Homo-oligomer: A and B are copies of this chain.
Amino acid sequence: MSRIPRIVILGAGYGGIVTAIRLQKQLNYNEADVTLVNKHDYHYITTHLHMPAAGTDNPENARVEISKLIDEFKVDFVKSTVLQIKPQEKKIILEDSTLSYDYLVIGLGGEPETFGIPGLLEYSLNIRSINSVRFIREHIEYQFARFKKEPTRKDYLTFVVGGAGFTGIEFLGELADRIPRLCREFDVNPELVQIINVEAAPTALPGFDPELVEYAMGVLKDKGVTFKIATAIKECTPDGVILATGEVIKAATVIWTGGIRGNRMLEEAGLETSRGRVVVDSFLRTKEYENIYVIGDCSIVLNDQGRPYPPTAQIAMQQADVCAHNLIAAIRNSSPREFKFSNKGTVASLGRGEAIGIVGKYKIKGYSAAMMKKLIDMRYLYIIGGIPLVLKKGRF
């Protein structure tokens, strides 16, 4: 190519922002034009969103202005919403303009997977953006205020959390911590509040170490959470949920954490997807187009047994490292690197001072696990923003 190649990165989540940061560090002057496109002018720390959703932390601590992370002399930032990807024309349609690319990185993240459960899309809330968690926090507080006006409406004080995966469990921990404070603030008898978790799988945290799962459920039960495991939600209504067992739970708040599928734009672009996610090759490229990389929640990487790794921040960041390397390799005609997920471990918080996790071959729980969780959060801040960002946002 005689002119400077154009790289466009869609989405500034874990995958997109780390790719952009790696590129701005490793690319030489005028080696490529890099453009990062994102709906908001901030990046948010998705793994932290369960706290502002429950109101146990300020949403500001879960987001960072993109201008603080990106060197605008090296990477162009476009604040816009992607409407369509046109791989054959190498074009991206934004809501107010069009971008051309030579290389594309898709890191547009996921959408809630509702498994076809009627009403879930309309009547449940999802923990998935700064706006959505601010809404959930306000919604929860509002129910307490409403209850004081209409004290017969116990459904205002009933909170159903659908799904006992990582997000569900971490949110339950925070919500259970917040409830006593809300009860004091609004003069509400804590015994009237119900937090109910409904999970269709035969266990909470499917695939996780059973001993730690039991510990986690014990911690959450002590905080007042009721579990309905191996129980599917049949329908979500404006008044609550109907379970597969026929039980009706009246609740003014239903929070759905039961699953993630890839962004719909990928299938609309003609890429082969499974639940909206693209199975990428070992270099993280789509099988249709060599110049399109897909990373993060909208990609699927298979493990040695041929099963997909669950979408996490950890895998997205490791993908971003390899993706940035391979983009530069493509431009320089050097060798690309194969992606191999290296699991550093997983820690799930259970509210203040409590967590469970597996780090290397060690099981950890309680306070030490909670400390480990904080370290992981701070390590991420360090990766994207160095010491200044750790100092600014790291006091979770």
Contacts and interface: CB of A to CB of B under 8 A. Distances in A.
A137 B138 CA distance: 10
A352 interface: no
Chain A interface secondary structure, helix, strand, loop or mixed?
helix
Contact of A131 (B130, B132, B137, B149): B149
Interface stretch (A5-13, A100-108, A140-148, A216-224): A140-148
A135 interface: yes
Contacts of A138: 138, 141-142, 144-145
Interface residues of A, number: 18
Interface string A142-178: 1011101100000000000000000000000000000
B146 A135 contact: yes
Contacts of A149: 131-132, 135
Contacts of A186: 134
A228 interface: no
Contacts of A146: 135
Contacts of A130: 187
Contacts of A393: none
Interface in A177-217: 185-187
Interface in A342-359: none
A130 B142 CA distance: 14
Interface string A290-314: 0000000000000000000000000
A363 interface: no
Contact of A135 (B132, B148, B185): B148
19 contacts: A130-B187, A131-B145, A131-B148, A131-B149, A131-B187, A134-B145, A134-B148, A134-B185, A135-B145, A135-B146, A135-B148, A137-B145, A138-B138, A138-B141, A138-B144, A138-B145, A139-B145, A141-B141, A142-B142
